[in-house]
Amino acid sequence: MRFKFTVFLLALNVTLFGLIAYLNNRAEQIDPATGGLSGQIGRGLIDADRIELHGRGLEAPRILKRTGSTWSITEPMQWSANYFAINRILNQLQFLEEEASFAVDEIAKTGQTLADYGLDDPILRLTIAEGDESISLSIGTLTEIGNNVYLLGPDGRDIFVVNRQVIDGLLVDLGDLRTRQIFDIPVFEVNALGLQIRSDSTADGSFLKVRLARSNGAWSFEAPLAAKANPALVDNTINTLTAAKVGRFIDEEAEDPTLQGFESPFMRVTIHGNQRRQTLIVGNLDPAAQGAPQYFAQLEENPAIFTVLARPFDALREAQEALRERNFVNFDSTQVSAINLSENGRKIRLQKLETGDWQVLESKGENEIQPHRADPAIMSRLLQDLETLRASGFAVDAPSPTDSERLGFNQPRRVVSLSSTEDEPITLTLAHPEDDNDNLYAKTNLADFIYQVERRTTLRMLPLNTHYYRNRILDTLPAAARISGLKLTNLESGQNILDLELPKDETDWNTYLLENDFERADDIRTLLAAARNFSVKSYLLDSYTDAYPIELDRTLPWVFRLSATIQLPGGETDRTEVREYVFTKRLSGTLQVGGSKQNDAIFEIPQELLDALYELIDDMELPPEAKELPVAEPSSIEPLPAAQPIPSAEL
């Protein structure tokens, strides 16, 4: 009994599995009436990795293959496919809807055949494949009514009437099916750039090899020399190359490797990515190019020939110089602790103090060192100028001692040494040949290269003059100090041009000047500001004299004196101090010399103070026009007597 029951269960299982297999097979063969055409081909399109187009509507078969997410054309040429064109075709097929459908068996009953619908030798046969599995569609003639075509379904048993747009999409021009993009390695993946450039200057037409590589985010040359590259310029070059587009494709019958320059190309451009590379071979100029010049080109191991714009590749002819880093003095300005400048025994030392301020040191005699406060703005500009010093050219990449001597480095114009709290010292040497008044060359202890730099601007930013580096603020009063008196005196006449004293009950000069309605109040405020914070335009001498020496035997006298009475708080009573500055006459619209005995210095005064002094001390009589008065008529001038001939006896 148990045996019979077991046999029954076994037979029931066999029947059940057979039914499941039958239903599954029926599911794969979707009924057109229920699933429609899109249902029959939609699943195949999703995972398709090959599309083939054959038929009398094409000059040559077209085969497209997918690798990953990228489609490429393998027939009738090898080239990357246009992503958007392929997607448009796939979308049209995926959502293809039939207007009507009928079975092939039905047309046979009416005496018709596939030939009556153009399906025995179709205009187009489309094969969609995934691996070894594929489905095929045949497209026949146009319908007599409506803008439709006949299409034979994938199983060959049904004919569908569909919109002719499907055939238009599949018969797209080959030029539109090909992408115009040349390189498909994305910019972020590029880690090296190689160039082989034919040299027209050599008899054998040898190639100059240039290679750049990226390491830790920085670009550098590996050939023809080891040197830093400008990262911004290299990135821009790679962006330009990867964005290059095909100008036009050359028909196969028009290809001529000799004429088009591929037997001896003028350039090979190789872009390296992650374990892959692409090389573009650039040939001769296209004589038929319209507009901008174009070169013939082709990708390595790809027979397709096309044209590209010439400009990006012409720019690569001098890549070994154009892409080099021109900033060659690299240091952290915040870590610099001292700067030494010298030329032929003359030395200036700029030293950073623990407070962060700078001082300039100059030798006076053999042992005496005279320190001065350095101007923070000047020091900031000096460090910035050194940090951004750029080469205008590359003179010698591997100089010999003879090269260095020939360019004047045995007698340099400047030697600049930078000491740092963390890094090794940097020495910048500037030189030029003795008879060369136009060029200036530079080198550092960081590399063997000799650079060319702009002569005038470079020497101008490194003057061997301690006056240039001194702090332009000569005197500064404490915040609590009070100016109680201000006097401007003409030293030649002994007269006071200005003699002001702030009353004890007044604390503010502005209020005092407003209440008493002083003329030239703005100019007086300028003098008060100068007395509180006296700055100079530039230093002329580091020692004070009783007159400004112009030459060995010529001086300019001090004509005016500015005196400020200062109340300095301290102890139970204020301490009184008088600060004095003397000035020559105004020498020009922008020049007037001043001196300070207390600070042992002679200097040029700034324009604002110069103008204020001029307004207060000028005694020039203004013309009527300046006073808005009527101008008197000029007196008439009697005419000269007529010329008389000289008697011949006097000749």
Residue 38 has pLDDT above 70, yes or no: no
Q: Are 611 and 519 in the same domain? A: yes
Whole-number Å distance between alpha carbons of 440 and 277: 42
**Residue 4, domain member (yes or no):** no
Q: With b meaning 16 or more CB within 10 Å and e meaning fewer, what string describes 516-549?
A: eeeeeeebbebbbbbbbebbbbebbebeeeeebe
Task: Please tell me whether residue 18 adopts helix, strand or coil conformation.
Answer: helix
Q: How many other C-beta atoms are found inside a 10 Å radius of the C-beta of residue 381?
A: 12
629: in domain? no
Q: Would you mind telling me the total number of residues written for the chain in this entry?
A: 651
- Other beta carbons within 10 angstroms of residue 24's beta carbon come to 9
Task: List, for residues 356-413, the tens digit of each pLDDT value.
Answer: 999 998 765 565 577 889 999 999 999 999 999 999 999 999 999 999 999 999 999 9
Work out the pLDDT band at 136, boundaries 50, 70, 90.
confident
Q: pLDDT digits over 144-162, tens only? A: 777 888 888 888 888 888 8
461 in the same domain as 593: no
Q: Tell me: the pLDDT tens digits for 533-567?
A: 999 999 999 889 999 998 888 999 999 999 999 99
Domain boundary among 469, 503, 520: 469
197 plus 306 within the same structural domain: yes
Residue 297 has pLDDT above 50, yes or no: yes
Let me know whether 317 and 347 are in one domain.
Answer: no
| pLDDT at 537 (0 to 100) | 95
Residue 389, in any domain of the structure: yes
Q: Write out the residue range of the structural domain in which residue 48 sits.
A: 23-177
Q: Which two tokens stand for residue 158?
A: 């049904």
For 162, residues 6+ apart whose C-beta sits below 8 A from its C-beta are 37, 96, 97, 98, 99, 148, 149, 151
The per-residue pLDDT for range 586-632, each reduced to its tens digit, is 999 999 999 999 999 999 999 999 999 999 987 655 566 656 678 77
Give the amino acid at 352: K
Given a contact cutoff of 8 angstroms between Cβ atoms, the answer to whether 212 and 323 are in contact is yes
Q: Per-residue pLDDT for 201 more than 70?
A: no
Residue from 39, 54, 49, 141 nearest 93 by CA: 39
Mean pLDDT over 49-63 rounds to 82
Using a 10 angstrom Cβ sphere, with 0-12 exposed, 13-18 middle and 19 or more buried, the burial of residue 498 is: middle
Q: b/e string for 226-264 if b means 16 or more Cβ within 10 A?
A: ebbbbeebbeebbeebbebebbebbeeeeeeeeebbbee
Domain-located, residue 526: yes
In a domain, 626, yes or no: no
Please check whether residues 29 and 120 belong to one and the same domain: yes
Average pLDDT over residues 274-285: 94
Whether 424 and 484 map to the same domain: the answer is no
> CA 368, 350, 473: angle at the middle one, nearest 5?
90
Please give the share of the chain, as a percent, with pLDDT higher than 70.
87
* Structure-block tokens of residue 7: 């046999």
Instruction: Tell whether the model's pLDDT for residue 415 goes beyond 80.
Output: yes
pLDDT of 330 above 80: yes
pLDDT for residue 132: 77
163 and 59 within one domain: yes
Q: Can you tell me the mean pLDDT for 426-447?
A: 93
- The least confident of 164-178, 223-237, 249-263 is 164-178
* 156 in a structural domain: yes
Q: Are residues 69 and 169 in the same domain?
A: yes
Omega into 606 within 30° of 0, i.e. cis?
no
Distance (Å, whole) CA 370 – CA 386: 25
Could you tell me the pTM of the whole model?
0.69
> Are 32 and 156 found together in one domain?
yes
Number of domains the chain is built from: 4
Residue 561: inside a domain: yes
Average pLDDT over residues 204-233: 90
In this structure, the answer to whether residues 195 and 288 fall within a common structural domain is: yes
Question: Please, which pLDDT band fits residue 15 given cuts at 50, 70 and 90?
Answer: low
Domain end residue (candidates: 135, 153, 177): 177
Which of 322, 351, 366 marks a domain boundary?
322
Whether residue 431 sits in one domain with residue 362: yes
Regarding whether 153 and 28 lie in a shared domain, the answer is: yes
